[in-house]
Amino acid sequence: MRRKHLVGVVVVIFLTWNVLMYYMLVSRNPGKVGAVSVQDQLRNLQGDIQRQLSHNSDLLQQLRKFREQKQSEKLDKEIRRTPHPIDTNSVVLPILLIACDRTTVSRSLDLLLKYNPNKKRFPIIVSQDCGHKPTADVIQRYVSEHGIQHIKHPNTTDIKLPWPQRKFQGYYKLSRHYKWALNQVFHTFNYSAVIIVEDDLDVSPDFYEYFSATFPVLHQDPSLWCVSAWNDNGKVGMVSDEADLLYRTDFFPGLGWMLEKSTWLEIGPKWPDAFWDDWMRHPDQRKGRACIRPEICRTSTFGKKGVSKGLFFEKHLKFIKLNDKFVPFTKKDLTYLQKDKYEQYFMKLVKDTPEVTVSEAMSGHKSNMKALKIIYSTKDEFKSTAKKLGIMDDFKAGVPRVAYNGVVSFMYRGQRIYLAPPSNWKGYDPKWS
Ligand SMILES: *[C@@H]1O[C@H](CO)[C@@H](O)[C@H](O)[C@H]1NC(C)=O
Ligand SMILES: *[C@@H]1O[C@H](CO)[C@@H](O)[C@H](O)[C@H]1NC(C)=O
C-alpha cells in the first residue's frame, strides 16, 4: 500500500509540475509580436515543448524502472519465502520440444524416445507453433504410439512490425512461442524444471543422464542458472575424448538446456519480443550467473532450415561432434562444479599452465606439453588468435563463447589450449563485440 502511495504522490507532483511549466512557457512571451516574428516564437515554443517532452519521457522511464525494481524485489522475497523442498535426485524433468513446421521433428523425437530411461521422470512435451498440419500429424502419431504430449500455441497470428524489423518476424514468433510454452510448463503443468530442445536436434545416449546428474548442482548453486548440452567450440578435432569433462561458462549456450522454475519466475515476466537468447546473455538478465556445459556436445543440429541456422549450419554446426559414449554422470562426484571449488580448481589449472605465443602454439614445438596458455589483452588480440586457431571469435555482451572468467578452453592439434586474459583481468567489457 505504501509503495502505491509513494508512486501516486510522485505522479501528482510530476503532473502539477508539468502544468506549471506549461503556463510559464505560455505566459513568458504573451503577445510580444513586433521585434520577433510569430514564426520564430512558434519555433521557440516548439523547441521548448520538445525539450519538455523528452525530459518527461526520461522521468517516466525512471519511474518505470523504479516500479520494476520494486516488483523484482517483491518477487525475490516471494521466491525466498516459499522454498520448495525438492528431491533433486527424483524431480521430474520434462523435455520441452519446440516445434513449428518441420516434419523432421520425428528424427528428434525418435532419439529422445530411444534414450529415455523413464518416461515418468522425463515426460516429453512437444509444443507446436505455426499450425502446420503435416507436422501436427507427425506429432500426433507419437502421442498415440508413445504417450508424449502435444500442446499447440494458440496464437499463430502475424506480429505487426514496422518494415525494418519485418524480416525478423520468425524471431518474434519464436520468442512469443517460447514464452507461452514455458508458461505452460511452469504454470499450467507446475513442473519445477524443464529441459528445452528444438525440432532439429539429435541427442546423445547420455543426454538424460547428464541433465539428471547436473540438476542437483544447478539447484543448489545460485550462481548457476542453466545447464546446457552445448559446447560452442565442440567441433570434431577441437574437443578432447574426455567425455566426462564438464565446465562452467559465463556464456549462455542454449541448444538443449535446463532451466529451473525459480529462474523462469524471474525472467518470464520480462521475456523479450524477439532474440531471446541474446537477451538472456545481457548482464541485466544474466546477473553474473554461469551455466554448466560439457566438453563434448550432448546435442547436435541436423536442420538447415530455421530462423537463424541456415548459413551457420554449413560453416560451423555440421562439424559439431555429438558424444556417442554413455557417461554414468549420476555415479560421479560433480561437486567440483560448485562455484568456490571450481574457481580454485580451474583458475589454478590455468595459472599453472605455461604461457606461449600463438605462433609458438601453432609451431608444434611445445607439443610435448599437456596444455598451453595464450594471453589476450584486447578484443582484437582475442579475435585474431581465435581466427588463427579456428575457434569462435564473437562476443555477446562482451563474453566470448565458452568463456569462464574470460578463459576459453579448447583443443588444438591434440593439445589443450587456454586462451586467457592477463592475471589482472577486471571482468568482461560489454563494449567488446
Ligand atoms: C497474439 O500475439 C499478438 C502479438 O504478439 C498479440 O498482440 C495478441 O494480443 C495475441 N493474441 C492473443 C489472443 O493472445
Ligand atoms: C506446484 O508445485 C509445488 C511444488 O513444486 C507445490 O508446492 C504447489 O502446491 C503446486 N501448485 C499447484 C497449483 O499444483
pLDDT tens-digit profile of 96-150? Answer: 999 999 999 999 999 999 999 999 999 999 999 999 999 999 999 999 999 999 9
Q: What percent of the chain has pLDDT over 90?
A: 75
**Are 148 and 294 found together in one domain?**
yes
**Are 63 and 130 found together in one domain?**
no
Pocket test for ligand 2, best of 90, 92, 190, 219 (most atoms within 8 A of CB): 190
- Digit-coded pLDDT (tens) for 376-415: 999 999 999 999 999 999 999 999 999 999 999 999 999 9
Higher pLDDT, 109 or 14: 109
Per-residue pLDDT, averaged over 75-95, amounts to 74
Domain at 362, CATH number = 3.10.180.20
Which helix (H) or strand (E) segment is 143 a member of? Answer: helix 133-146
**Are 59 and 113 found together in one domain?**
no
Residue 122 lies in a domain: yes
**Are 364 and 330 found together in one domain?**
no
Confidence at residue 273, expressed as pLDDT on a 0 to 100 scale: 97
**What is the whole-number distance in angstroms between the Cα of residue 260 and the centre of ligand 2?**
14
Residue 43 has pLDDT above 60, yes or no: yes
User: Which residue minimizes the CA distance to atom 11 of ligand 2?
Assistant: 190
**Are 370 and 409 found together in one domain?**
yes
**Are 375 and 238 found together in one domain?**
no
Three-class DSSP category at 97: strand
Residue 193 lies in a domain: yes
Of 276, 305, 336, which closes a domain? 336
Per-residue pLDDT, averaged over 19-26, amounts to 57
**What is the whole-number distance in angstroms between the Cα of residue 83 and the centre of ligand 2?**
11
Domain that holds residue 28: 2-80
Measured CA distances, 71 to 64, 269, 280, 282 (Å): 10, 11, 19, 20
Higher pLDDT, 430 or 86: 430
- Digit-coded pLDDT (tens) for 193-206: 999 999 999 999 99
Per-residue pLDDT, averaged over 70-75, amounts to 56
**Are 202 and 300 found together in one domain?**
yes
For ligand 1, residues with CB inside 6 Å are 155, 157, 159, 176
**Are 130 and 275 found together in one domain?**
yes
Residue 26 has pLDDT above 60, yes or no: no
Q: How far apart (Å, rounded) are the C-alpha atoms in residues 349 and 368?
A: 17
- Closest Cα partner for 323 from 132, 158, 97, 115? 115
Q: Which residues pair with 179 in a beta bridge?
A: none
Three-class DSSP category at 130: coil
Residue 291 lies in a domain: yes
Per-residue pLDDT, averaged over 291-316, amounts to 83
Question: What is the rounded average pLDDT for all residues in the chain?
Answer: 89
Number of domains in the chain: 3
Please say whether the beta carbons of 231 and 98 come within 8 A: no
Q: Which residue has the cell 555440421?
A: 318
Residue 19 has pLDDT above 60, yes or no: no
Catalytic hit among 129, 199, 232, 277: 277
- Closest Cα partner for 429 from 379, 376, 385? 379
pLDDT band at 298 (very low <50, low <70, confident <90, very high): very high
Residue 16 has pLDDT above 50, yes or no: yes
**Are 284 and 361 found together in one domain?**
no
**Are 361 and 323 found together in one domain?**
no
Quick check: is 250 catalytic? no
Confidence at residue 233, expressed as pLDDT on a 0 to 100 scale: 98
Residue 427 lies in a domain: no
| Choice among 159-168, 278-287, 309-318, 364-373 with the minimum mean pLDDT | 309-318
Write out the E strands in 236-311. 246-249, 257-260, 290-294, 299-301
**Are 309 and 398 found together in one domain?**
no
Per-residue pLDDT, averaged over 320-349, amounts to 97
Three-class DSSP category at 76: helix
Residue 87 lies in a domain: no
Q: What are phi and psi of 197, to 5 degrees?
A: -130, 165
Q: How far apart (Å, rounded) are the C-alpha atoms in residues 129 and 153?
A: 5
- Closest Cα partner for 354 from 373, 326, 378, 334? 373
Residue 178 lies in a domain: yes
Please say whether the beta carbons of 100 and 135 come within 8 A: yes
Domain at 261, CATH number = 3.90.550.10
Confidence at residue 44, expressed as pLDDT on a 0 to 100 scale: 75
**What is the whole-number distance in angstroms between the Cα of residue 84 and the centre of ligand 2?**
8
Of 320, 336, 352, which closes a domain? 336
Q: How far apart (Å, rounded) are the C-alpha atoms in residues 338 and 214?
A: 11
**Are 361 and 332 found together in one domain?**
no
Residue 428 lies in a domain: no
Per-residue pLDDT, averaged over 67-91, amounts to 64
What is the grid cell recorded at 317? 554446426
Q: How far apart (Å, rounded) are the C-alpha atoms in residues 5 and 249?
A: 43
Q: Which residue has the cell 507427425?
A: 138
Q: What are phi and psi of 244, to 5 degrees?
A: -90, 0
Confidence at residue 190, expressed as pLDDT on a 0 to 100 scale: 97
Residue 31 has pLDDT above 80, yes or no: no
Of 288, 314, 336, which closes a domain? 336
Which helix (H) or strand (E) segment is 209 a member of? Answer: helix 207-220
Residue 387 lies in a domain: yes
